[in-house]
Amino acid sequence: MIRLVQALVLLMLVAVLSGCGYNTIQQKDEAVNAAWSEVLNNYKRRADLVPNLVATVKGYASHEEQVLTRVTEARSRVGSINVNANDPASLAQFQQAQGELQSAISRLLVVSENYPQLKADQNFLQLQAQIEGTENRITVARQRFIKAVQDYNTYIRQFPVNLTAMVFGYKPRPNFTVENEAQIQEAPKVDFGTPSQPPQQQQQPQQPQQPQQQPAPSNG
């Protein structure tokens, strides 16, 4: 009888452990980590292209100092952030910095439209193609990360998996926000037109006054 009870208890423990979702939590958590690594790799790829892009544009448009400086500073801010993907504030700061870098690069590419020789430079054309390809990779990587986080968060909230997650300290992970994502993907609007100056009225040259003729003296 005792052995039968022990066997029943063992079967119940096996059933509980198999249904607690612990192993699946591990799989989904690793999927999130892998997706995040892909995001970081693509962001790093873009940052690595910036110095060569700035140097190439500067060779043809050195007087565009303000635009060139913005790109360099934005890249520096991105490199100075030690992002923690599990911290919502850190992820938001990282997201904002990456958005500023994308905006600065977009402005730099817009400026290049004013320099035909730069647009014909093979090195610039290759860098431009690599930038565009990297932006597409970033978009895909972000989407995969968003889906992986959503899948993980949804799973650990389900009963009875939520009990297992609570026991082992697994919490919902922060994600990219839709508002920031839309803002980052929006191309910056750049207006290179100079404000029109009101035409100055030209002063009419003054005509020299004719000296008044004195009446001729009368003979008499």
SS3 of the chain: the string is CHHHHHHHHHHHHHHHHHHCCHHHHHHHHHHHHHHHHHHHHHHHHHHHHHHHHHHHHHHHCCCCHHHHHHHHHHHHHHHHCCCCCCCHHHHHHHHHHHHHHHHHHHHHHHHHHHCHHHHCCHHHHHHHHHHHHHHHHHHHHHHHHHHHHHHHHHHHHCCCHHHHHHHHCCCCCCCCCHHHHHHHHCCCCCCCCCCCCCCCCCCCCCCCCCCCCCCCCCCC
Residue 163 to residue 155: CA distance in whole angstroms: 11
Tens of pLDDT, residues 113-123: 999 999 999 99
Residue 93 to residue 66: CA distance in whole angstroms: 24
User: What value does the mean pLDDT take over residues 102-121?
Assistant: 94
**8 A C-beta contact, residue 69 and residue 190:** no
User: What value does the mean pLDDT take over residues 171-186?
Assistant: 68
- For residue 39, what are the CA distances in angstroms to 43, 104, 140, 144, 189? 6, 19, 9, 9, 26
pLDDT reported for residue 171: 95
The fraction of the chain above a pLDDT of 70, given in percent, is: 72
pLDDT reported for residue 178: 63
pLDDT reported for residue 177: 81
The fraction of the chain above a pLDDT of 90, given in percent, is: 69
pLDDT reported for residue 5: 62
Task: Tell me which residue of 117, 104, 132 sits closest to 56, measured CA to CA.
Answer: 117
Tens of pLDDT, residues 32-74: 999 999 999 999 999 999 999 999 999 999 899 999 999 999 9
User: pTM higher than 0.95, yes or no?
Assistant: no
User: What value does the mean pLDDT take over residues 80-97?
Assistant: 95
- For residue 118, what are the CA distances in angstroms to 66, 106, 134, 142, 187? 18, 16, 21, 32, 21
